[in-house]
């Protein structure tokens, strides 16, 4: 996989406002927030898109949800509600080709998304 700017964030070469980190997962604030809370949750393993997830990644990808729930609980937004979004490829608006989950909260989110 081609290295993306998220690899640079993982390696500390680009600064980020990190809200969670362990050996496998990193979460940091989106630089262009679309809601009062907008956090990106990424695997440290460089997986480009949802299309590139393999069976062996199941636990790692599941962990993104576990971390999302922990971040929401810690931020006090779990009960109010939040949205998790994963864009895959151009038609969905994916711009960084390193798998990432958006966690959005803090305002009423409309449906369907644009």
Instruction: State the residues that interact with ligand AMP by CB under 6 A.
Output: 5, 14, 16, 30-32, 40, 87, 93-96
Through-space distance between the first and last CA atoms of the chain, rounded to whole angstroms: 29
Minimum separation from the CB atom of position 85 to ligand AMP (A): 7
How far apart are the C-alpha atoms of 96 and 46, rounded to whole Å? 11
Helix (H, G, I), strand (E, B) or coil at 34: coil
Cβ within 8 Å of residue 22, ≥6 positions away: 67
Closer Cβ to ligand AMP, 56 or 102, answer by number = 102
Closer Cβ to ligand AMP, 31 or 66, answer by number = 31
Q: Which two tokens stand for residue 54?
A: 């393999």
Cβ-contact 43, 79 below 8 angstroms: no
Minimum separation from the CB atom of position 112 to ligand AMP (A): 17
Closer Cβ to ligand AMP, 56 or 95, answer by number = 95
Minimum separation from the CB atom of position 79 to ligand AMP (A): 25
Q: Which residues are catalytic?
A: 100
Strand partners, 38: 104
């Amino acid at each position: 996989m081609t290295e993306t700017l998220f690899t640079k964030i993982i390696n500390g070469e680009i600064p980020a406002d990190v809200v969670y980190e362990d050996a496998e997962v990193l979460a940091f604030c989106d630089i262009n927030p679309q809601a009062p809370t907008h956090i990106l949750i990424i695997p440290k393993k460089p997986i480009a898109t949802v299309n590139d997830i393999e069976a062996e990644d199941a636990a790692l990808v599941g962990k993104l949800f576990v971390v999302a729930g922990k971040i929401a609980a810690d931020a006090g937004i779990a009960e109010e509600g939040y949205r998790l979004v994963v864009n895959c490829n151009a038609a969905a608006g994916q711009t960084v080709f390193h798998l990432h989950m958006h966690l959005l909260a803090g305002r009423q989110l409309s449906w369907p998304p644009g």
